[in-house]
């Protein structure tokens, strides 16, 4: 991954907008978010990626609340999914679902080859993916989905892990994860960002 400001190698990922920054353009937050950030939290108009819109929040909750760090908890179960869905030139694979006491972790793999670019030319030099999944179970519950980590690009494959919160109810038998679009953000001059419409839908059996 490269810095979204200058395209130099990334040194970290912004904790507000989740874009990558280099050593000159960020420290926990990228420079644009540092300049917009007020004393009370995130920049105006910011919404966490994947948040369920229109869902009520608890009185103690704020716009920048995040789910607990579930990776420090004992792993309860791993469901290997391995479902592949293609739309246009974007392939998304839902690799696995990890279940913890206070939430879940879902892992994706993405691949993109723009139609105007030969497959021999690495896409990683010009674009990187951004997407916001939605998650709902067969009981009608909707869940928050938060970016956790991402990597890749050198071989035209990207991996992304996302946290799902709160925990899935024991009575749920199915989890549907939907990606409505994938935004391939341009890096460098002479290229344009591309939005690939979906949906990419995955049905995960919890039984």
pLDDT in tens, 118-153: 544 444 456 778 898 999 999 999 999 988 888 776
Same domain, 83 and 40: no
In a domain, 191, yes or no: yes
Same domain, 33 and 111: no
Residues 87 and 157 occupy one common structural domain: yes
Choosing from 10, 30, 45, the residue where a domain stops is: 45
Q: Which of the pair, 68 or 14, is modelled with greater confidence?
A: 14
Percent of the residues in the chain that have a pLDDT greater than 90, as a whole number: 31
d(CA 188, CA 196): 20
User: Do 127 and 169 have their domain in common?
Assistant: yes
- Residue 63 inside a domain? The answer is no
Where does the pLDDT of residue 45 fall: very low under 50, low under 70, confident under 90, or very high at 90 and above?
A: very low
84 plus 38 within the same structural domain: no
Q: Which of 45, 62, 81 is the last residue of a domain?
A: 45
Residues 145 and 103 reside in one and the same domain: yes
Q: Which domain holds residue 15?
A: 1-45
187 neighbors 206 (Cβ within 8 angstroms): no
Same domain for 84 and 134, yes or no, is yes
- Shared domain check, 201 and 100: yes
Q: Are residues 82 and 162 in the same domain?
A: yes
Q: Is the pLDDT of residue 52 over 50?
A: no
User: Is 188 inside any structural domain?
Assistant: yes
Q: Does residue 51 sit within a domain?
A: no
Q: Are residue 28 and residue 127 in the same domain, yes or no?
A: no
Q: Is residue 54 part of a domain?
A: no
When pLDDT is averaged across residues 164-173 and rounded to a whole number, the result is 92
Cβ neighbours of residue 122 closer than 8 Å, sequence gap 6 or more? 153, 154, 155, 156
Among 204, 193, 175, 72, which Cα is nearest to 123's?
193
**Rounded Cα distance, 204 and 188, in Å:** 38
pLDDT band at 39 (very low <50, low <70, confident <90, very high): very low
Residue 61 placed within a domain = no
Q: Is residue 142 part of a domain?
A: yes
Q: How many domains does the chain have?
A: 2
pTM score, two decimals? 0.64
**Any domain includes 156:** yes
């Amino acid at each position: 991954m490269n810095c979204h400001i200058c395209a130099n190698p990334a040194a970290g990922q912004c904790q507000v907008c989740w874009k990558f920054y280099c050593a000159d353009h960020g420290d926990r937050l990228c420079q644009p978010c540092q300049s917009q950030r007020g004393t009370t939290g995130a920049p105006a108009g910011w919404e966490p990626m994947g948040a369920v819109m229109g869902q009520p929040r608890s009185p103690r909750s704020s716009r920048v609340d995040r789910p607990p760090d579930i990776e420090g908890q004992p792993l309860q179960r791993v469901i290997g999914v391995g479902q592949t869905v293609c739309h246009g030139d974007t392939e998304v694979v839902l690799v696995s679902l990890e279940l913890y006491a206070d939430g879940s972790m879902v892992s994706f793999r993405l691949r993109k080859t723009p139609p105007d670019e030969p497959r021999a030319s690495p896409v990683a030099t010009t674009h990187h993916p951004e997407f916001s999944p939605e998650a709902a179970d067969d009981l009608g519950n909707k869940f928050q989905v938060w970016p956790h980590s991402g990597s890749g690009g050198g071989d035209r494959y990207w991996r992304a892990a996302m946290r799902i919160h709160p925990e899935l109810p024991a009575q749920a038998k199915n989890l549907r994860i939907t990606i409505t679009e994938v935004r391939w953000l341009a890096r460098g001059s002479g290229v344009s960002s591309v939005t690939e419409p979906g949906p990419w839908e995955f049905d995960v059996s919890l039984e």
